[in-house]
């Protein structure tokens, strides 16, 4: 499953790169792109594990950038 996720309060391109790198290392993440300019994340993971991956993604983003809000 591939899903576009809206982000809010993403402050800079460096933060987007940090988030993208950290999420890319998570188990079951097939692909991830974080775009600072559009404030969006494209997350790809297996259908049967997508909800678990998304929960882990939310935790990871909060650790790196606590102000970022994930609107999914």
Residue 28 domain-assigned (yes or no): yes
Residue 47 domain-assigned (yes or no): yes
CATH number at residue 32: 3.30.70.100
Q: What is the maximal distance between C-alpha atoms in the chain? A: 32
Q: Total domain count for the chain?
A: 1
pLDDT of residue 72: 72
- What is the rounded CA–CA span in Å between residue 62 and residue 39? 15
Residue 44 domain-assigned (yes or no): yes
pLDDT digits (tens, 9 = 90+) for 27-36: 999 999 999 9
Residue 41 domain-assigned (yes or no): yes
pLDDT of residue 16: 96
**Stretch 45-61: mean pLDDT, rounded?**
97
Domain assignment of residue 47, given as a range: 2-53
Tell me which residue has tokens 């988030």: 19
Residue 61 domain-assigned (yes or no): no
């Amino acid at each position: 499953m591939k899903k576009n996720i809206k982000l809010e309060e993403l402050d800079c391109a460096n933060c987007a790169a940090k988030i993208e790198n950290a999420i890319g290392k998570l188990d079951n993440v097939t692909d991830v792109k974080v775009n600072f300019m559009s404030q969006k994340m494209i997350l790809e993971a297996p259908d049967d594990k997508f909800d678990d991956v998304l929960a882990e993604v939310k935790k990871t983003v909060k650790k790196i950038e606590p102000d970022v809000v994930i609107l999914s």
